[in-house]
Structure 1
């Protein structure tokens, strides 16, 4: 798995995970990438800073009301709501349905549901493209 910083033509910045480096190019050429803020399909890789770990005695202080956090939370909720309103909920059959769609044994459509960590690992190993649905903040209360 690889994480890319992305930006859309409206200069919204966000991140996404991909199976490998080629997966971004394939998804971008198919037009399936979309900015979670504005919905633009004109998405490109953004410049990325190297990941530098913090020192063990260093603390990160961001308040819950920080504007960037609110924007990110709003964007995640918008994406979650879009998927849930436009895709089919398949429950614990997610891995099975994703495999059928990947193998073209079932119609191509958006689905969401639940999968165990073992099922997720198998889907990745089999080359089935999928993304986790962002968790809503209220899911953790």
Structure 2
């Protein structure tokens, strides 16, 4: 398994896991490598620091292991958030308030809110989670 540091045309950096360098090149050329932040397919490899496996296991509390989540698990989690919620778009702040104050049925929603809207919701005690969802996860799987 090859792990590459990648960056989209907008400067978003992320990590990609591939079977080989050739697999990355083939997928990238086919537009299959997508930025998880903005959905761009204009992706370039970045300089990656070399890693040498010595065979010795790292300590259980090593910082590098703290967030070790396989990419497939992360995509599955993000897909479950999208599939299990209603997209209310630009009405997110208004709908979150309506749910919070019992004016609308309680349910999971997702949408877009400005930083000011998120701050106002927080001041009212309405918890939200800011999570960039790539555009390809918003569409049904084929």
Tell me if both proteins adopt one fold, taking TM over 0.5 as the criterion: no
With structure 1 as the length reference, what TM-score do the two structures score?
0.44
Q: Which has the larger radius of gyration?
A: 2
With structure 2 as the length reference, what TM-score do the two structures score?
0.44
